[in-house]
Chain A
Amino acid sequence: MTTLLELKDVVVGYGRIEALHGLSFSVEEGEIVSLIGANGAGKTTTMKAISGLLNLSKGSITFDGDDISKVKAHVRVARGISQAPEGRGIFPGMTVLENLDMGTYGRKDRTGVKEDLERVFTLFPRLQERRTQAGGTMSGGEQQMLAIGRALMGRPRLLLLDEPSMGLAPQFIKQIFRIITEINEQGTTILLVEQNANQALARAHRAYVLETGTITHSGTGRELLSDTAIKEAYLGVA
């Protein structure tokens, strides 16, 4: 296994307020890695730092052996990092198909777009039914599917998922996580950020716990799932 993504001592701040204080972790090729933490722990900030929407004040991010800390966000997409952002970020005025098409924007090779579309429609049959509907008129769960499907259209090497379960009904959450595993089994490395620690840990090969901008625990998903401190703090088990 080779290391696909590595963060070293990453510091990111909003003005004087530092959101991440020296964060280090790595994602190996082929893994699902979960990053769990409470509100305000810095999960979304981490995602934005990886995708390039936020600048680092210190530290470095390495992707596939190259330092990408100074690489612009849209170039990182072309290198193979796709994200389904927090809040889904569906283009409301575009149809489902157009939204999916946006996922291929950064792609250099246009071959295989059709197969990828087939693949997304196989994963999410609902999207095929709704393909001419405007993105803004879909339900939250459908938008989440669209966001993940759109990110897959970039044929990423690393898929970043920011809170895919947020605001979804329980049966939808199960379905989304099942699909996440399926995507991973098809060969895409996934970094998952979640508040829903139970599912996120159960599905992950490895996981990190983020608390106020630093990693406090790490281990395999199963290890963390059985850790009493984590149970108390994140799994709602006393």
Chain B
Amino acid sequence: MLATLFSLSAALPASVSTDNSWINFDVTSLLQNFWPATFDGLTFGAIYALIALGYTLVYGVLNLINFAHSEVFIMGCYGVVFTLTSLGFGPNAPNLSIWAIIFNLILAMLVGMVFSVVTAFVVERVAYRPLRRRGASRLAFLITALGASFSIQYLIFLVRGSNAEPAVTMFIPTPIFQVFGAIIDSQQLTIVIAAIVMMVATDQYIRRTRVGRGIRAVAQDPDTATLMGVNKDRIIVTTFVIGGILAGAAALFYVMKVPSGVIYNGGFVLGIKAFAAAVLGGIGNVRGALLGGLLIGVIGNYGQLLLGDSQWTDVVAFIVLVLVLLIRPSGLLGQTLGRSRA
């Protein structure tokens, strides 16, 4: 099967080879594992999509790439791991009834969400709100976002050190059915279905509720939104909180998929991939984030098979991002939350 996909920088031993080649293509591997890689990619894609929503929503209302969102996500992962560890989960899956497992997972997800939401809230209050008050330049916002991202990363580093958290396995995936000879297991199914449900809920929330209308109004014209009686500051906090909730959910699924992937800088590359997903689907577009996430997940897996190393997924995702910006910067589904339609 496919190994874990995420680069944990220091942990990877370099191959000691005298090979002087640059890039090798392994087409047979891609063809042989095409369907398993597709479904596995969709699972990762669902996780990217949940994170991508956080970028997309904040970008919609603030026109800002919230670099700290990757840390909002990784904080959620710590919340999940701490909860599960204290509930007695470890490297081996516990022998519990299915209902007990579901209860524990939901509890872990809620704690993860709280961790993420608190982080997002603090970042908004401490870093971004003072800048808004001052009417700072876009550059100032981006630099602050960068500072916030690295501050949180290295705060975690100080507390938890440079190693990944011990693995937590939640349950052993059991095969459910087969498609094109590829086994779909319970884990993949859980992640994809849960992620899609959450995304549909978010989409409906923004389309149908009063707060959702407020979010769209601020995204399209903040001053006029205020004249309609929208409390802009509260709307902005709300979008950070929604992003945090989704990141917390993504955290649970990520730990489920990559049990030993929780490390202080683990959010970074995932954040880039999630952002690439948001841009691919059309930044500001909730449905686009889902499509972009799934595509990035699948394309990344193909890249890994074709090129041979798991770290190629990151490179491939990055190349997709650059190509999208080159060919269709508004993304596949266009940008809807924001004002670009005007």
Contacts and interface: CB of A to CB of B under 8 A. Distances in A.
- Tell whether A and B belong to one assembly: yes
Interface of A: 51-53, 72-74, 77-78, 82-83, 85, 89-94, 98, 101-103, 105-107, 134, 136, 150, 154
Contacts of A73: 226-227
B229 A89 contact: no
A125 to B, nearest CB: 23
Contacts of B338: 93
Given A74-B229, A82-B227, 11 more contacts: A77-B226, A89-B221, A89-B227, A90-B224, A91-B225, A92-B339, A93-B336, A94-B216, A103-B228, A106-B229, A136-B341
A156 to B, nearest CB: 11
A101 B342 contact: no
A94 to B, nearest CB: 7
A104 B118 CA distance: 31
B230 interface: yes
Contacts of B213: 98, 101-102, 105
B134 interface: no
A145 B226 CA distance: 20
Interface string B325-342: 000000000001111011
Contact of B228 (A72, A93, A150): A150
A117 B221 CA distance: 23
Interface of B: 210, 213-214, 216-217, 220-221, 223-232, 336-339, 341-342
B335 to A, nearest CB: 9
18 contacts: A51-B227, A53-B226, A72-B231, A73-B226, A74-B230, A77-B229, A78-B229, A89-B221, A89-B223, A89-B224, A93-B216, A93-B220, A93-B336, A94-B216, A94-B217, A94-B220, A102-B213, A105-B229
Contact of B341 (A72, A85, A93): A93
Contact of A102 (B217, B336, B342): B217
B229 A93 contact: no
A224 B324 CA distance: 61
A143 to B, nearest CB: 11
Contacts of B229: 74, 77-78, 105-107, 154
Contacts of B228: 77, 102-103, 105-106, 150, 154
User: What 8 A-B pairs have minimum CB-CB distances, sorted nearest first?
Assistant: A106-B229, A89-B224, A77-B229, A92-B342, A91-B220, A73-B226, A105-B228, A74-B231
